[in-house]
Amino acid sequence: MDSNLESFACLWLDRSVNSTEDNIQTQKELRQVINHLRTFDNISECEQCIRQITKEKVVLIVA
């Protein structure tokens, strides 16, 4: 069984998603299980991405 969840897109919306060491470390850990991880600090960009996803299930992290 493939340990990476290929059919899932993980989207993380948070103003500080790329600016704290804790968040960056969490991103590394998430990428070990989900290859498709996208981070957003802008709600409009995140919404646009969600609307374009057609074949994957979405896991949305909002903080």
pLDDT digits (tens, 9 = 90+) for 1-57: 455 556 788 999 999 999 999 999 999 999 998 878 999 999 999 999 999 999 889
Q: How far apart are the first and last CA of the chain?
A: 31
Spatial distance between the Cα atoms of 17 and 2, rounded to a whole number of angstroms: 27
Which residues on neighbouring strands pair with residue 37, listed in sequence order? Answer: 10
- Please state whether the predicted TM-score (pTM) of the whole model is above 0.75: yes
Q: What is the largest CA-CA distance in the chain?
A: 36
Spatial distance between the Cα atoms of 30 and 54, rounded to a whole number of angstroms: 22
Whether 3 contacts 33, CB under 8 Å: yes
